[in-house]
Amino acid sequence: MRSRIVFTTLVVLSSLAATSPVVAQNRVITGRVFDDANRQGISSALLQVVGGPQAAQANEDGQFRLNAPARDVVLNVRALGYRRLQVRVPAAQASIDIAMTREALQLTEVVVTGAATTQERRNVATAVSTVSGKELADAPSPSLEAALQGKVVGTTINMNSGAPGGGGQIQIRGVTSILGNGQPLYVVDGVIVNNDAFSAGVNAVTRASGSGATSSQDNPVNRLADFNPNDIESVQVLKSAAASAIYGSMATNGVVLITTKRGRAGAPRFSLSQRLGTNQPERLLGSRHFTRTALASLLGDTAQARQYCPQETCPYYDYQGELFGQRGLAYETSLASSGGNEQTKYYVSANDKNEPGTMINTGARRQNLRLNIDQSWGGKWTANANASIYRSTTARGISNNDNTFTSPFYAFGYTPAVIDLRQQQDGHPIDNLLLRQLVNTGSNPFQTIEGVKDDEDVWRQVGGANISYAMLATQSQTLTLSAAGGFDRFDADGETYSPNYLQFEPDDGQPGTAVQAEALSRQFNGSLNLVHTYTPSGARFLPGISTLTTSAGVQYEDRDLNRYTVVARGLLPGIENIDQGNPTLNQTKSLVRNQALYASEELLALDERLSVSGHVRAERSSVNGDRNKYFYWPGAAVSYRLVNLIPHADEIKLRGSVGVSGNQPLYGLRDNVLVPNGLIDGRNAIATPSTIGNPEIRPEKMRELEVGLDGTFFDSRAGLEASVYDRTITDMLLTAPLPPSSGFSSRYINGGEMKTRGLELGLNVLPIRNRTFTWTSRAQFYTFTSRMVSLPPDVANFVLPSSGFGAQYGRGRIARGQKTTLIWGNRFRCDADAFNAHHCAALDSSVVDTAIADANPRFQMAFSNDFTWKGFSLSALVDWRDGGYVSSLTTNLFDEGQNSWDYDKPSPDTTIGRTLGAYRYKKWDAGRNAHVYVLDGSYVKLREITLTYAVPSRLIPRVLGSAHDARLTFSGRNLYMWTPFWSLDPEVNNFGNQNVARFVDLAPYPPTRTFLAGFDVTF
Amino acid sequence: MRCLFSTGLIAGALLAIAGCGADRLNVPNYQNPTTGSITSDPVAAIPLLATGVLRDDRGNFTGYVSGTGILGRESYNYTATEGRNTSGWLTSDVENGTSFGGGALWSPPFFTLRDAFNTATVVDAASESQVSATQKSAVHGFLHTMEALSLLYLINTRDSLGAVVEVTADPTKLEPFVSRDSVFNRIIGRLDQAATELRSGGASFPFTFHSGYTGFTTPTTYLKFNRALAARVNAYRASLGIAGCGAKFSPACYQTVLQNLSESFLDPSGSLSGGVYNVYSSAANDASNSLSNSATTNIVAHFRADSGIELRPDGSKDLRFTTKVFTLAKAKSPPSTVDAQPTKFDYKMYDSRSDPIPIIKNEELLLLRAEARYFTGDQAGALADINLIRTQSGGLAPRGAFASDSDFVDELLYNRRLSLLFEGHRWVDMRRFQRLDQLTIDKPSHVVVDHLPIPQAECLSRANASGDLKAPGC
């Protein structure tokens, strides 16, 4: 198959090679591109010869070298954040300086619109958000998700915990699926990459969910964490269905396109960046300061209370401060080199990042190497190849839910802080006897976290190549054939070990637990594309047309995953191998293959004011019921620019798009199967599955209508981007419930309809801009609601499996006409006010399971400001979420343990509880009034501050010899949070990444604040 | 023009490439065998499916024993991280179909019904050369017996609410709720039908039983297990006064119990523990006894496990108590998260993870005979059976004649309580003799219920249904 593609390609290419005209290249233009206000070089400015294939990119100083025809040429000069320019260079002139003016919207940016096509943002008719590499790397982050927080309007980005190494969820324009994939498609330089998360097996220790190796509550890292933000040139987020439909049935959740840095022609440049710093918890809770009386009442034993508390005021130990008191050296070292000539360019980088956790014995390290090469042969063949190797290791300790009191905040919730748990005995911290007395079991987090290993070690390779051949290149037409392909493979090696001596280990009669949890992922995608552009010089073909781009292609993709785990219990002391004790084994494998054909048409007309585009993708997949059937994913968009129509409005673009994108069924849904039912007496058993497969299963279908307005005002000093969208998702993939009396739990179906509507606003302003001072300010706002419009008539409303901890704490439900983001739980039937339920003895005190809060924020805003004064620049990012409720089991744990820090504060109603903590717990009434612990998760977070000082160029030679550029940087992340939320962080989720019902806070790893200082030098 | 031609050529080539790759999309299911791959060979499939049915029954059983154990005040669950394991069964939450107790013990019997249904379908579809008519009859006898046993577990927990009794080919079609009496009549109908099928089931089953069925692995011997279950069900019907069997405690109905027992494995001179068991193992992919003390320290005996225990002639406690219950030196307190009483008692009959749990045993059959004899007027026979149990199982002195019906019931329930301790009987027995009010209410927040509600998932599935398709109490 593969060899046939190549063969066909060669035949086609050779038949065409002889026929195209050759463009002469016989002079070099050099020069510098700079900011017209502060005269600093503009790095990565792109210069293109109009009507020719020649192009060059400026280096960090703005200097460039461009091959050009001998004749007079016009250069198209673009740089992100600057107004586009066209500069004429007469045949006799060899060098030119080009001054550019900043603009509030990045209209010159190149936006990906197809498999092999791009457009300038100015002309793009859909909402695409872009974040530049600089914005990502300014304040170092645990992973890309954190670096993107507050920077992509309409996109909800939450970190699952504060643990080192990352782990977070990106949800573009709200809920799109209930059963199907809920995460965006991530594409790095054309390679579709895996963003799954794999637990290292800590569930075997915590037993958060059964006794298996893994569960969704293990706080794993999703594999986006492997990628190094320093290597990223830009991140584009395709949000609308019209834009993302180029990825067909992998696209309803949007597409995140990551482009890495590339080499530039010129003398080799070498840059070194070093950061050093430290991490600390952004927020801890503390616990109750016990009195002897209170302790005696909790223990039910005055004599014992006297032992712990010699005086009425008990001693108090800051358990959380101590356990989360690790302050290792955080560092990040980046080396990059780039250079080359007009034919060959390279970019090489190496990065080593160490992130100590705030919890003892935790940390993360990421190392990677990258090589990007660009090569051209003559004027017709160009190729690029990218190869990167990553190694990520994490030790994340234990957090989230557990059933063994091994999760630190879980254990702290029930342990009065009256004894020093750090005391040593037999070389380890002591057993937590106080907790054992209270709950018959227990662990000392100092002992547990010191002893337990929950480590993941990932080796990953990503590589890709793209070769293109300009079959035709004239003033008016180009025809380019390109072949692109790439792979992503990794092995994630998870090892968990819980030694025999730990206090809780003998509780199951099998001391010692060892887990080996392996995940092997292989993905490949490849495509062949043909792109034709027609740029009429006059109006001889179709009047008014500026450019007509036609493209077509074919794509193949596969994803292969093999996951297996071994849990061994009952170990020999000190031995971590899994070939001892009682082992249990588990394996899951999947393989998905997709084939697609696509075609698209883009038209620029009426002096480039009108842009019209349309495309369609036909796709079939191994996961569909009918594997031979093609599903079609069309999209169309139109925009028109009104230039200087209204005073002070330089340009207003009106745009609208409609598109249909899809979401594939998951592997295996299509098959009617019987399931292995274990052994009895060594004999195999088989049984019906609890969920029935569906041989008719097909992709979900999302139809989206988006309209928007982008405007620049006041001489590009202000820019506004506004979009509203209306998405309708039909043929939804559902695990439709069946009555339990049928002997099944559910069946996989396509059905039902969901609607998501939203508004996105972005305002960029350049209030001050002069020779010494610039101020750039950005604000963004978004809001959406997601509602289940209908379900098929034979499907009952249902409770979402594993969306919380039952009606007593609140969980998700899919119900006709209701928002999908609601939290449902118990309240008293008698109570009129859902949010202030109370005991009601005389009235109907029975309990009803109903909607009690909405986990979806009313809106989310972000403010970002950059100030530059001479060599100094300061940037700050503030993120604001208004509303969004959280089921806070952390609060419940501390109140149940009579141990919350505010337990002894005055009670609002002493007839219910004598103190505040007692009042809350009593009012919750063992879960009959779930709303008490469903808390407002609003916040304002100061996410990033970065201060940079550029060493004046006249000082550099004295200090750094031949360096071109030197900067000193100080940055901080997660600096402060203002929130009414009781617990650690309202953005976390006990269940990690989840499509719907992301609202459970249960003993998470606390959020981490980071300070880093360092320098960047370029030679 | 040439350009357009080339474009067309390439587009054509691309389409051709895409077309020839269709077979690459035929990816197997690595996780589970497809239904067709199993059922196409009935000879190989029947042992797998039959073992699946046995495994379903075992899978439900520990939950049934521990759940009804809490309801019958035999046990507590002290799991500290999940207080709802207690509050969901003992407080008014148990009346709510979303609670840990209220939502429990409903779905599992239907899984057994579904697997039995599927097995029957495969058996029926097999040709005579693959599975003979005799063997088919044997398999149906087995399946109908297991179906009856599952329905018994079901109606024991839902009692007056009634239940759904059948699964059919279309799982989306709601099956009606029928009354408690109809459920019992269905159960006995199934057992009797199974008996007929077993009698014409030839010499062997086309599958192998697990070791818990030792002695009951041929259609002839398995029939004795079937009849033992029939005796239990008919005794329940008699004591409840089920329509079709006669008034409460009517001799006619109890007469059938005696008839059933005569065809069962009842053996006054045999081992009292003889019978059919669910077996466990700690081997990989097998299931271990989750009630055992090695598996959990959280399941403990009720704090009044020792109340009313009779003494033996030497002054020591009833042997059944001392062999089954472990008395701690100091009371164990429930975790602060669990709303229960401290207890001094723990069970020791399930010590290791591989200890079996009886489904039905000779000792129960003797007690059923005592009950049936008494209510059919054979007081002497009843006394003989009771004394056999008292002396052999409890090491107690034999007792004298019964003074009254209530004297007999007291004696019967005392012996049933200890002989069948923590085997899933206490709550059911107290209910059928209308003595639930004698169960201890340990704490003010606790209640004693006579049935569990219909779980939320069933209620939601039937929210728009009417008539007998509606779930009662939702």
Among all residues of chain B, which has the CA nearest to that of A797?
B460
pLDDT given at position A846:
79
Among all residues of chain B, which has the CA nearest to that of A567?
B284
Chain B positions in Cβ-Cβ contact with residue A442 (cut-off 8 Å): 80
Q: Which of A969-978, B175-184, B328-337 has the lowest mean pLDDT?
A: B328-337
Among all residues of chain B, which has the CA nearest to that of A847?
B96
| CA of A268 vs chain B CAs: smallest distance (Å) | 40
pLDDT tens digits for range A231-246: 999 999 999 998 888 8
CB contact B164 to A (< 8 Å): yes
Using CB atoms, pick whichever of A440, A743, A847 lies closest to residue B113.
A743
Average pLDDT over residues B394-400: 96
Chain A positions in Cβ-Cβ contact with residue B454 (cut-off 8 Å): none
3-state secondary structure of A972: strand
Of all helices (H) and strands (E), which one includes residue A354? strand A344-356
pLDDT given at position B1:
41
Length of chain A: 1019
Average pLDDT over residues A588-596: 95
B 225-244 → A contacts, CB under 8 A: none
Instruction: Write the CA distances from B429 to A1003, B70, B346, integer angstroms.
Output: 43, 14, 22
pLDDT tens digits for range A296-337: 999 988 999 999 999 999 999 999 999 999 999 999 999 999
Give CA–CA dist A498/A201, Å, rounded: 11
Q: Do B26 and A508 touch (CB under 8 A)?
A: no
pLDDT at position A663 over 70: yes
| CA of B276 vs chain A CAs: smallest distance (Å) | 15
Chain B positions in Cβ-Cβ contact with residue A739 (cut-off 8 Å): 164, 171, 174, 457-458, 461-462
Q: Do A741 and B110 touch (CB under 8 A)?
A: yes
pLDDT given at position B2:
45
Q: Do B172 and A404 touch (CB under 8 A)?
A: no
Q: Do A672 and B35 touch (CB under 8 A)?
A: yes
pLDDT confidence tier of residue A265, bands split at 50, 70 and 90: confident
pLDDT at position A759 over 80: yes
Q: Do B29 and A688 touch (CB under 8 A)?
A: no
Give CA–CA dist A654/A646, Å, rounded: 14
Q: Do A479 and B6 touch (CB under 8 A)?
A: yes
Q: Which of B328, B336, B339 to mutate to test the interface with A (most CBs of A within 10 A)?
A: B336
pLDDT confidence tier of residue A20, bands split at 50, 70 and 90: very low
Phi, psi of A263 (to 5 degrees): -70, 160
Q: Do A743 and B111 touch (CB under 8 A)?
A: yes
pLDDT confidence tier of residue A1, bands split at 50, 70 and 90: very low
Residue written as token pair 């994630």? A492
Q: Which of A229, A198, A45, A31 is nearest to A136 (CA)?
A: A229
B 87-126 → A contacts, CB under 8 A: 87, 91, 93, 96, 98-100, 106-107, 110-115, 117-118
Q: Do B27 and A592 touch (CB under 8 A)?
A: yes
pLDDT tens digits for range B109-120: 999 999 999 999
Strand order in the sheet with A746-750: A691-692, A746-750, A733-737
pLDDT tens digits for range B146-189: 999 999 999 999 999 999 999 999 999 999 999 999 999 999 99
Chain B positions in Cβ-Cβ contact with residue A688 (cut-off 8 Å): 111, 114-115, 118
**Mean pLDDT over all residues of chain B?**
93
Chain A positions in Cβ-Cβ contact with residue B176 (cut-off 8 Å): none
Using CB atoms, pick whichever of A528, A737, A849 lies closest to residue B98.
A849
pLDDT at position A956 over 70: yes
| CA of B409 vs chain A CAs: smallest distance (Å) | 35
3-state secondary structure of B108: helix
Contact A509, A581 (CB under 8 A): no
Chain B positions in Cβ-Cβ contact with residue A404 (cut-off 8 Å): 81
Residue B367: count of CB within 10 angstroms of its CB: 25
Average pLDDT over residues A948-956: 86
Instruction: Write the CA distances from B451 to A838, B163, B410, B447, integer angstroms.
Output: 28, 12, 22, 12
Using CB atoms, pick whichever of A479, A621, A676 lies closest to residue B3.
A479
pLDDT confidence tier of residue A348, bands split at 50, 70 and 90: very high
Q: Do A16 and B6 touch (CB under 8 A)?
A: yes
pLDDT at position A538 over 70: no
pLDDT tens digits for range A67-109: 888 888 888 898 877 888 888 999 888 899 999 888 877 777 7
Average pLDDT over residues B72-82: 92
Q: Which of A118-122, B73-77, B336-340 has the lowest mean pLDDT?
A: A118-122
pLDDT confidence tier of residue A19, bands split at 50, 70 and 90: very low
What percent of chain A shows pLDDT beyond 90? 70
Distant-in-sequence, close-in-space partners of A764: CB < 8 Å, separation ≥ 6:
A104, A105, A718, A719, A720, A721, A776, A777, A778
Chain A positions in Cβ-Cβ contact with residue B288 (cut-off 8 Å): none
pLDDT given at position B13:
56
pLDDT given at position A17:
37
Give CA–CA dist A916/A921, Å, rounded: 9
Structure tokens at B364: 């129960």
B 435-464 → A contacts, CB under 8 A: 455-458, 460-464
pLDDT tens digits for range A880-918: 999 999 999 999 999 999 999 999 999 999 998 999 999
Residue written as token pair 């019902």? A997
Q: Do A597 and B15 touch (CB under 8 A)?
A: yes
According to the 3-state scheme, what is the secondary structure of A525-565? EEEEEEEEEECCCCCCCCCCEEEEEEEEEEEEEEEEEEEEE
What is the Cα Rg of chain B in Å? 26
CB contact B150 to A (< 8 Å): no
Give CA–CA dist B28/A219, Å, rounded: 31
Give CA–CA dist B130/B117, Å, rounded: 19
pLDDT confidence tier of residue A2, bands split at 50, 70 and 90: very low
Average pLDDT over residues A519-535: 94
Q: Which of A694, A87, A25 is nearest to A343 (CA)?
A: A25
Residue type, B251: P
Structure tokens at A894: 């501390």
Could you tell me how many CB contacts below 8 A there are between chain A and chain B?
A: 298
Q: Would you give the distance in Å from CA B376 to the centre of its chain?
A: 28
According to the 3-state scheme, what is the secondary structure of A227-247? CCHHHEEEEEEECCHHHHHHH
pLDDT at position A118 over 90: no
pLDDT at position A543 over 80: no
Give CA–CA dist A968/A275, Å, rounded: 10
Q: Which of B4, B25, B76 to mutate to test the interface with A (most CBs of A within 10 A)?
A: B25
pLDDT confidence tier of residue B458, bands split at 50, 70 and 90: very high
Give CA–CA dist A153/A169, Å, rounded: 15
pLDDT tens digits for range B403-421: 999 999 999 999 999 999 9
| CA of A740 vs chain B CAs: smallest distance (Å) | 5
Q: Do A477 and B3 touch (CB under 8 A)?
A: yes
